[in-house]
Amino acid sequence: MITRQRLAAGASALFAALAAGIALPSTALADETTAAAPKVNLVLDVSGSMRARDIDGQSRMAAAKQAFNEVLDATPEDVQLGIRTLGANYPGDDRKTGCKDTAQLYPVGPLDRTEAKAAVATLAPTGWTPIGPALLKAADDLDGGTGSKRIVLISDGEDTCAPLDPCEVAREIAAKGIGLTIDTLGLVPNTKMRQQLSCIAEATGGTYTSVEHTDELTDRVNQLVDRAADPVVTPVATEGTERCAQAPTLRSGLYTDREEFGQQRWYRVDVLPGQELRASVSVSADRDVNPAYGVLLRAVTVKGREIVRGEAAGNGRTDVISTGLRHPKAERDDVDADKPAAETVCLQVTHSFSAAAGVKTTPGLPLELTIDVVDGPSPSSDVAAFGLGRGWWLLGALVLTGFVAGLLWGWLSRWRVAVWRTN
């Protein structure tokens, strides 16, 4: 006989089972969404040099704080964001201690904008510039999950903790195969810093940007955070050739290939006037190789004239080596229909890996090629866009103006003396 108590108990159990059945898919979906969420780790240089007041009339640190606050406001909801510092805590002169000075200011995860801004507000320029150690820790911060991972490094100087070379560190991170990209931004850059930050970015297929104004810093970091939220790109298999004439024409994307020892691979990319080609290549040693090797990426015209190159060397510490290049194509001033609108750029990839004794040389080593054809920078925003030609024209105009002015001044001076003698 079914009593009221048993009926109530059965109904409760039924409702609980139904609730559990409904809740389980939701929980699984939430876990899957979290695992696939894109992650961004902002790594900020807080070394003593950030006190310099040369960005829009304020210190570099103040400009970085202002940019960070605006970036935090604009960060997409689905992006898990963290902040790591380098050189923020140790003000002393002990190099060993200073080179360990990196800390997680805000953990990578769902963003609490108020809490993150409060953490940024506490920062003050302090110590050393341990870029290499900070990158290693920043990569660990991003561990786990299947979504895209991106480190954005903002620094105003080169690393002060050699021999831990930040470029080698970036290559080691790339070698882990965790799909992590490092983008770098240089505040008021000098040549040495530009070379180091470019090397770090190119090692993982990232980008380097020089920044001299607060709004430039804000805009660029926002772009990189938004890019992290883009869907992860699946590499497309392709086959390069021994000569450019027969090479496949590639568009923007991520490509994989294999390259034999002592072989070269060619690919073609069409670049329209006003566009910029950005390319990077990574070659990984999936077997024992001899130490001391390098990789070369060249952009040449279809007639064989070299345009630009990127190259990197390794010493055996990593099993992946990467490099990259940029080629901006100027806007066309003419409208001659007989001239082709696009320029075909030939990309050549060569490497100097050599197989260790007894190691098979086939198949070739895995190669990953990133192609990005984007709208080029305007001449007003990028000094390099002017090119040498326009610079020489300006110099010639100034010299000619000075010469003519000198002749006129000399003629007028002689005329005045002649008039004075006559009177």
Paired strand residues for 153: 43, 184
Split at pLDDT 50, 70, 90, the class of 356 is confident
Residue pointed to by tokens 């979290």: 34
- Over residues 209-223, the pLDDT tens digits come to 888 899 889 988 988
Return the top range by mean pLDDT from 151-160, 170-179, 353-362. 151-160
Residue 294 maps to which CATH number? Answer: 2.60.120.380
Return d(Cα 405, Cα 417) in angstroms, integer.
Answer: 18
Confirm whether 133 is domain-assigned: yes
Q: Is the peptide bond before 166 cis (omega within 30 degrees of 0)?
A: no
Q: Are 72 and 219 within one domain?
A: yes
Confirm whether 407 is domain-assigned: no
- Please report, for residues 80, 134, 395, 414, the alpha-carbon distance to residue 409 in angstroms, rounded to integers and kept in the order given: 68, 62, 21, 9
Return the top range by mean pLDDT from 21-25, 27-31, 33-37, 87-91. 87-91
Q: Are 78 and 136 within one domain?
A: yes
Confirm whether 5 is domain-assigned: no
Confirm whether 357 is domain-assigned: yes
On the question of pLDDT at 387 being above 70, the answer is no
| 210: nearest Cα among 3, 392, 377, 391 | 377
Q: Are 136 and 279 within one domain?
A: no
Split at pLDDT 50, 70, 90, the class of 31 is low
Confirm whether 8 is domain-assigned: no
Q: Are 179 and 123 within one domain?
A: yes
Q: Which two tokens stand for residue 314?
A: 């390794």
Confirm whether 347 is domain-assigned: yes
The average pLDDT across 248-275 equals: 93
Q: Is the peptide bond before 130 cis (omega within 30 degrees of 0)?
A: no
Instruction: Name the amino acid, one letter, at 175.
Output: A
Residue 98 maps to which CATH number? Answer: 3.40.50.410
- Over residues 139-157, the pLDDT tens digits come to 999 988 878 899 999 999 8
Domain count, the chain: 2
Q: What range does the domain containing 72 cover?
A: 33-228
Split at pLDDT 50, 70, 90, the class of 171 is confident
On the question of pLDDT at 172 being above 80, the answer is yes
The average pLDDT across 376-403 equals: 52
- Residue 416: the pLDDT is 66
- Give the CB-side neighbour count of residue 83, counting CA atoms within 13 A: 27
- Residue 21: the pLDDT is 44
Q: Are 142 and 191 within one domain?
A: yes
- Over residues 4-30, the pLDDT tens digits come to 444 444 444 434 443 444 444 545 545
Q: Are 220 and 250 within one domain?
A: no
Element (H, E) at 85: strand 80-86
CB 37, CB 187: distance < 8 Å: no
- Over residues 269-290, the pLDDT tens digits come to 999 998 999 999 988 877 778 8
Confirm whether 245 is domain-assigned: yes
Q: Are 178 and 262 within one domain?
A: no
Q: Are 77 and 218 within one domain?
A: yes
- How far is CA 44 from its chain centroid? 15
Confirm whether 382 is domain-assigned: no
Whole-prediction pTM value? 0.55
On the question of pLDDT at 1 being above 90, the answer is no
pLDDT higher at 171 or 369: 369
